[in-house]
Amino acid sequence: MRLEAVDALRGFALLGIWLVHFLITFVGQRGDGTGPAGPPSAGETAVRLAIDTFVAGKFFSIFSLLFGLGFALQLRSAGAKGQPYTARFVWRLALLGALGWLHRLLFEFEILHIYAVVGLLLVLVYRWRNAWLLFASGLLFVGGLGFAFWLAPVTALFTGAFGEAVGSFLVDEFSGFRVFTVAAMFVLGLYLGRRDAFADTAANRVFFNRVLVVAAVGFAGAKLFYSQFASVVGAGIGPAIRFYDTFFTLKSLAVSALYLAGMMQLYRQPLFRRALAWLGPLGKMGLSTYVLQSLCLLLFAWCGRRYVGAAGLPLQVVLGAAALLFAAQAAAAHAWLHRFRYGPLEWLWRSATYRQWQPMRRK
């Protein structure tokens, strides 16, 4: 298992998550956060189209898959030492859930609390055979597609203040197939970790080449149908919206697979390995980086309110800030891990897991 490649892949996923959150939040918006600054410019339209095609919904799937992969690695490590792990993993999930709900107070796109709940699924299926894991992953994804068709009728059954709150919660957590996609990616990551899919072997190189071909064909097909439904949705035909969401999800997963397989194949090349190595520290302290990104978003939003006000945020400023702030995150991760073994939140999480302070500084 090439842990350096996995860390770089996780860092790459965090780059995509950062871009979609930052650009969706600020491109074309007023500095005070009160709404759009006006009709989008050609540049803003192009940026949003690029986000929709290549970024939105693509990277959190990779991030989720790597969570399942991490479980497989931790399970293998515990097994090699003859230590039980499932109870400890459940405790780790409880800690992650607590952090996630705190994080959600600051950041509306928070995903950690969902990881904490859905992660329990891994405890239920980790003894299954590989074929059953693949089947379960596919079934969860298909179930998510079907769920979209009856989510709206179900939420309509809830009335009153409490009912509306429940309905709103269901829409927030289950729309866009988020929970089902996370569950499917968790199980798929467990499967890939069990079969050592990230080891540098001839069989895995062939495997990822096949993934590239299948994903490219899948993307082309999903993109075609997605474009067809886009015009229908624009006309306000309600039922078509759910088909639109379905093909958006299929398109996103195809792009995620292209990124994943492409990164693994590129990482085999020494030149690209050196070029991608700067993402490794970000991925190694992925939890800390993910939460730090929320703080960076809040910082930029404060600057917008303070220095821009009701005026529109210039596109070049938004793009430049996105690049500079991510570069700052990368520099901070490199500097931190040069002196310490873990990211700050990883260290706290690990210490709470074992109920004792873990060594932090490098010797």
pLDDT score recorded for residue 147: 64
Residue 61 backbone dihedrals phi, psi, to 5 degrees? -65, -45
pLDDT score recorded for residue 352: 95
How does the average pLDDT of the chain come out, rounded? 84
pLDDT beneath 70, residues of the chain? 1-2, 145-177, 226-246
Q: C-alpha distances in angstroms, 270 versus 42, 77, 196, 232?
A: 39, 28, 21, 47
Cα-only R_g, the chain:
21
For 277, how many CA atoms within 13 A lie in the half-sphere containing its CB? 8
pLDDT score recorded for residue 1: 47
pLDDT score recorded for residue 122: 93
Nearest to 339 by CA among 318, 310, 360, 315: 360
pLDDT score recorded for residue 235: 44
pLDDT score recorded for residue 160: 62
Residues near 280 by Cβ (< 8 Å), separated by ≥ 6? 4, 7, 8, 11
Question: One-letter amino acid identity for 246?
Answer: T
pLDDT score recorded for residue 171: 57
Dihedral (CA of 116, 347, 282, 194) sign: negative
Residues near 22 by Cβ (< 8 Å), separated by ≥ 6? 296, 297, 300, 318, 321, 322, 325
Is there a contact between 1 and 276 (Cβ–Cβ < 8 Å)? no
